[in-house]
Amino acid sequence: MSGPEHPDLAIRLNNLAQLYYTQGNYGKAEPLYQRALIIQEKTLGAEQPDMASTLKNLGRLYYTQRRYREAEPLCQRALAICEQVLGPEHPDVASCLNNLAELYKAQGRYTEAEPLYQQAIAIDEKIFGPEHPSVELATTLNNLGELYRAQGKYAEAEPFNRRALAIYEQALGPDHLQVAQSLNVLATLYHTQGIYAQAEPLYWRALAIRQHVLGSDHLQVATILNNLAELYHAQGEYNQAEQLYRRALTISEESADPDRSQVAASLSNLAELYRSQGKYDQAEPLYQRALAIFEQTLGPEHPDIVISLNNLATLYSAQGKYEQAEQFYRQALTINEESLGPNHPAVAQNLNNLATLYHAQGKYEQAERLFSRALTILERSYGPEHINVATTLENYATLLSKTRKETKAKTLLARAKAIRAKNA
């Protein structure tokens, strides 16, 4: 017979919280996880696998909400429990390592994430064998590949993403939804590099799987349509891009369970298409509507609204509306500094955007300080010879030339040129 503090109740609370989590009802899930954790600490002690499971789940909830500081100690504690109770080479340990690595990756802590992914892969390979079609192994391989893509290490990313796809196909069959997701990941890798001919058929295959399994009006179909539209947009095929963006927007708006954030993303993408063609009057109301949706559903200080803020700022900057642009760039910078920390690569991009705006207005001293700080963050995050450092070096050098600091400007330009040559 169970009571208010029986371990079986904790399991039921955890399961109910999982249901709410999968529905996106995070407000209901969180207190159930927390209550389950309190019961387990009282009845089971601090070092039990069931408690590790609850810690993992609550940590994942916080990760999904980008509450990284709250998620980290939970993920670390879950890992410590699994290692102590199950041993250092158990599949649950690999899962905990992967979760912690994902958390570090999201914060731009790439050097901390990489060895955790590698350790998780080594555990899975030792347990299952390197050729075994382990879905868990494939997931970690894909995650490590995406870590390398985030750092611009495309040649290192590709074999991990390809291997993950092959494992998913072998383990689940060629038409499984997880295969579609892996195809999307690999397509995005090629897309990011401008290798459009290789990305396109992968996106189309992923789209076909999702349409077959989920139906043509599912939100996951809209995601691939958006990606394909971005691919055609990048190649200047504006009519085809617009058709796909509009179809994705229609699916998002008419879904039986509409994902308002996906509606906002589709609006932003369509607005970006118009902005890139100089159709500012058509772009602005779409950007504004997207921002309003994000603020309403997520709150005005949520990290996911930063893209909308940057988009509006870029639009206003292109029209010479510098005061409005500055307001949005500064808001984006503040949100990222508070949610990701002051030394995240995304913060460097915010600084670069704001510095470029000041440069355009002749506010050279303010721009120089921001370019310098952005460069420091990027060098610390990626290393001084990484391709992601080159653009800021070039922007900084252009500014220094305007202020007659030619010697330093030439040094920075030479560095940027060497970086681009190395990564050509």
Which residue carries 């900057």 as its tokens?
A: 317
pLDDT, tens digit (0-9, with 9 covering 90-100), for 250-295: 999 988 665 588 899 899 999 999 999 999 999 999 999 999 998 9
Distance of CA 51 to the CA centre of its chain: 28
Window from 1-15, 49-63, 276-290, 321-335 with minimum mean pLDDT = 1-15
User: Mean of the per-residue pLDDT values for the chain?
Assistant: 92
The pLDDT, as a whole number, for residue 1 is 39
pLDDT, tens digit (0-9, with 9 covering 90-100), for 165-174: 999 999 999 9
Query: 101, 87 in Cβ contact below 8 A?
Result: no
pTM of the model: 0.84
**How far apart, in whole angstroms, are the C-alpha atoms of residue 181 and residue 15?**
26
Residue boundaries of the structural domains of the chain: 173-248, 279-293+307-327, 344-424
pLDDT, tens digit (0-9, with 9 covering 90-100), for 172-229: 999 999 999 999 999 999 999 999 999 999 999 999 999 999 999 998 999 999 999 9
pLDDT, tens digit (0-9, with 9 covering 90-100), for 202-213: 999 999 999 999
- Whether pLDDT at 61 is above 90: yes
CATH homologous superfamily of 173-248 equals Tetratricopeptide repeat domain (1.25.40.10)
Which residue carries 């030479």 as its tokens?
A: 414
- State the average pLDDT over residues 355-377: 95
CATH homologous superfamily of 344-424 equals Tetratricopeptide repeat domain (1.25.40.10)
